[in-house]
Amino acid sequence: MDINIIELVLLAVVTFIFAIDQFSLTEIIYRPIIACPIMGIILGDVQTGLVVGGTYELMMIGNMPVGGAQPPNAVLGSVVAMVFAVKAQLDVNAALGACMIFATFGQYIVTLLFSAASGLMSMCDKAAAEGNPKGITKALNIHMLCLGGLFAVIAIIAYVGGTAMSEPLQSLADNASWFMGGLSAAGGMMRFVGFGILLKIMMSNDLWGWLLAGFVFALVIGNIEPLASATLILVAFVGVCFALLDFKLTTMEKNAQQGGVSDGI
């Protein structure tokens, strides 16, 4: 078992930061599309970090916490997916399929921790009644320390366990290819599930035409060899053009309905 202490420490540190960031700091850097490349730098495989991060972001893009309800935890899922993909040498889709088990576990960890941390509210109430902002800051710091520390410990366990399981997982991949194939298929499917959840939240009937037009443009441009490598960028530019056109038409219609004055052009 090849344990790199520097990697282990750095992974614990960034996981500590990510765990706090998902609720208290920028609420951006913990997202898989940013966190996984950072972990890829630490683990020595930036390319895998980019692939895992981009794919996992699609899986988690529609999952948002609502009140006390927590979705599968993106931080813990990102850590496990990266460890499995880099240290255990699993296929990216298989690593993403396996990480969902731990992401769901992280969901319950956060819920239990928040329930336990509710005891800090009495400290905050007392500090507020005394006009003591430092007391409230102390309670918040205690909570963030517990949250970050717990996730850092889990990251260490995941790193050590993933590294130790490298050979057994490779043996499983060779001797039970049907199982790993199913895990890869599940991981590959999850990105569409995540995007589907987002569409269910955001999609309105008058946008279906634009969505289907985007698919058509992607297919057409993707099959033109000189343009295929820039398909996403070109489709994004077309999307911006559609958005500006739609905004202009909507504004003109709104001004006409309100009896507004045109710009004379």
211-238 residue pLDDT tens: 788 888 888 888 888 888 888 888 888 8
Burial of 249 (0-12, 13-18, 19+ CB in 10 A): exposed
CB atoms within 10 A of CB 74: 25
pLDDT mean over 28-49: 89
Task: Inform me whether the pLDDT recorded for 1 exceeds 70.
Answer: no
| Residues 6 or more apart in contact with residue 192 via CB below 8 angstroms | 58
pLDDT of residue 169: 66
- Residue 4, SS3? coil
Helix, strand or coil, per DSSP, at residue 217: helix
In order of 48, 84, 151, 162, the CA distances from 91 in angstroms are 10, 8, 25, 14
Give dist(CA 137, CA 139) in Å, integer: 5
211 burial level (CB within 10 Å; 0-12, 13-18, 19+)? exposed
Is the model's pLDDT at 258 over the cut of 80?
Answer: no
Secondary structure (3-state) at 69: strand
Prediction pTM value: 0.69
Average pLDDT of the residues in 185-210: 70
User: What gap in Å lies between CA 152 and CA 76, rounded to an integer?
Assistant: 10
How buried is residue 45: exposed, middle or buried, by Cβ count under 10 Å (0-12/13-18/19+)?
middle
Over residues 105-158, the pLDDT tens digits come to 888 888 888 888 878 888 888 888 888 888 888 888 888 888 889 889 988 988
pLDDT at 133: 85
Residue identified by tokens 């500006």 is 244
Write down how long the chain is.
265
The CA-CA-CA angle for residues 93, 71, 96, to 5°, reads 10
DSSP string, 119-176: THHHHHHHHHHTT-HHHHHHHHHHHHHHHHHHHHHHHHHHHHHHHHTHHHHHHHHHH-
> Phi-psi category of 54—alpha, beta or left, where left has phi over 0 and alpha has psi -120 to 50?
alpha
In the predicted structure, residue 193 carries a pLDDT above the cut 80: no
More confidently predicted of 148 and 187: 148
Map residue 66 onto helix, strand or coil: strand
